[in-house]
Structure 1
Amino acid sequence: MVRIVVPTVWTPQGRTDFEGTPGPLDEVIRDFVARHPEFGRRLLDADGAPLRYVNICIDDDLIPRHQRAAATVGPDAVVTILSPMAGG
């Protein structure tokens, strides 16, 4: 089972841990949003493509934006979504 972890500030109910499906990372994100549409505006653009400015880790590895289209999520992986941050 894929585990998807979202930022606490995204969930007013306090739930941050969800189940997901294995496969290409972009499809994992789209499937997650299909099952939890409340996260759609934070993860997908108007055309339904995953936003590239949101940081995503698979297990303990941050996946660079230019490698996300080729990234695959295994059946026992943890996908951690990190809120974008501004500032300096």
Structure 2
Amino acid sequence: MSTAWTQGSGSTFECGAGPLGDVLKRFAADEPRYRHRILGEDGEPFRYYNVYLDGQALPRRDRDGVMVGEDSTVHIVPPLAGG
């Protein structure tokens, strides 16, 4: 399951298991309205957002080897800007 941001709230989607990058790509394919927020023009996931797997933050440098389990939850959190 993946949770993604929507304006003013969050949304939940079933994405299945596999390598994190593939899960994010499946999410973008299943929910094309979010593709531009998840994937770059090269079709690869953006690295600037925060990703949590089962409540644990995934450092950007470690994401390539992460496997998402069938019962796992992935949270996709956009970066926050402020001042």
Q: Would the TM-score normalized by the shorter structure come out above 0.5?
A: yes
CA shift digits 1:12-65 (9 cap, x unpaired):
xx6601111100000000011111111111000100000000111001101000
TM-score (norm 2): 0.91
Pair 1:46 & 2:44 matched: no
TM-score (norm 1): 0.87
Pick one of 6, 9, 31 that aligns with 1:8: 6
1:4-83 to 2 correspondences below 5 Å:
4-9=2-7, 16-83=11-78
Cα distance in structure 1, aligned partners of 2:54 and 2:15: 14
Task: List runs of 5+ in structure 1 lacking aligned partners.
Answer: none
**Stretches (4+) displaced over 3 A:** none
